[in-house]
C-alpha cells in the first residue's frame, strides 16, 4: 500500500527559479466515487494512471502506474471530465528535500503552488525563503478541484 503525505504552499516570490528547467504536465480526471480520484497524466514523454483515495489528515492512499503515452493522450481527450490541467513542474532541492513547484497554464493561469512529500504527518522540514502561505487543507488547491473550478473563475 502506498501512502502519499504532502503539504502545499503558495509562493511569495520567484527567487527559487534561477536556471531550473521544468517538465510540461497535462492531466485530467475520470469519474470516480466520492473521495476517490482517478487521474490520467502526461509528464514530458511519459503517461501515468493514478488512483488516489480520500484524504485523511494530510495523507491519502496513492497508486500510480506508467502507461503508454498514446493511451494517456487518448484518455485525456476522450474520457476526462471538465478542463485539463496544464502546468509546468519544477523540482527544486532545498535542505535535503525536493520541492515540486507547479506553474499553472490555461484556465488556471496565475496560480503557482509548491508541495513537499513527507514520510509521516509530523515530519519536520526547513521552509525555503520563497515559501508563502500553507494551503494543504484547502481543497480549492487540489488539482481535481481545479479541473472543475478553474483558478480563473475564483
Separation of alpha carbons 38 and 95, rounded Å: 32
29 is catalytic: yes
In whole angstroms, what is the distance from residue 93 CA to residue 112 CA?
Answer: 17
Note whether 117 and 99 are within 8 A (CB): no
Specify whether the CB–CB gap between 89 and 27 falls below 8 A. no
- CA dihedral (103, 104, 109, 110) in degrees, to 10, reads -40
Q: Which residues are catalytic?
A: 29
Amino acid at each position: 500500500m502506498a501512502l502519499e503525505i504532502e503539504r502545499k504552499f503558495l509562493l511569495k516570490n520567484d527567487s527559487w527559479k534561477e536556471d531550473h528547467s521544468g517538465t510540461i504536465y497535462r492531466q485530467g480526471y475520470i469519474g470516480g466515487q466520492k473521495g476517490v480520484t482517478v487521474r490520467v497524466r502526461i509528464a514530458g514523454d511519459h503517461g501515468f494512471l493514478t488512483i488516489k483515495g480520500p484524504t485523511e489528515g494530510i495523507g491519502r492512499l496513492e497508486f500510480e502506474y506508467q502507461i503508454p503515452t498514446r493511451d494517456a493522450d487518448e484518455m485525456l481527450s476522450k474520457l476526462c471530465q471538465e478542463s485539463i490541467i496544464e502546468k509546468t513542474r519544477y523540482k527544486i532541492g532545498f535542505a535535503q528535500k525536493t520541492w515540486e513547484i507547479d506553474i499553472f497554464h490555461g484556465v488556471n493561469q496565475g496560480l503557482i503552488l509548491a508541495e513537499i512529500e513527507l514520510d509521516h504527518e509530523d515530519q519536520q522540514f526547513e521552509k525555503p525563503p520563497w515559501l508563502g502561505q500553507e494551503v494543504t487543507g484547502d481543497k480549492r488547491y487540489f488539482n481535481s478541484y481545479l479541473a472543475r473550478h478553474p483558478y480563473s473563475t475564483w
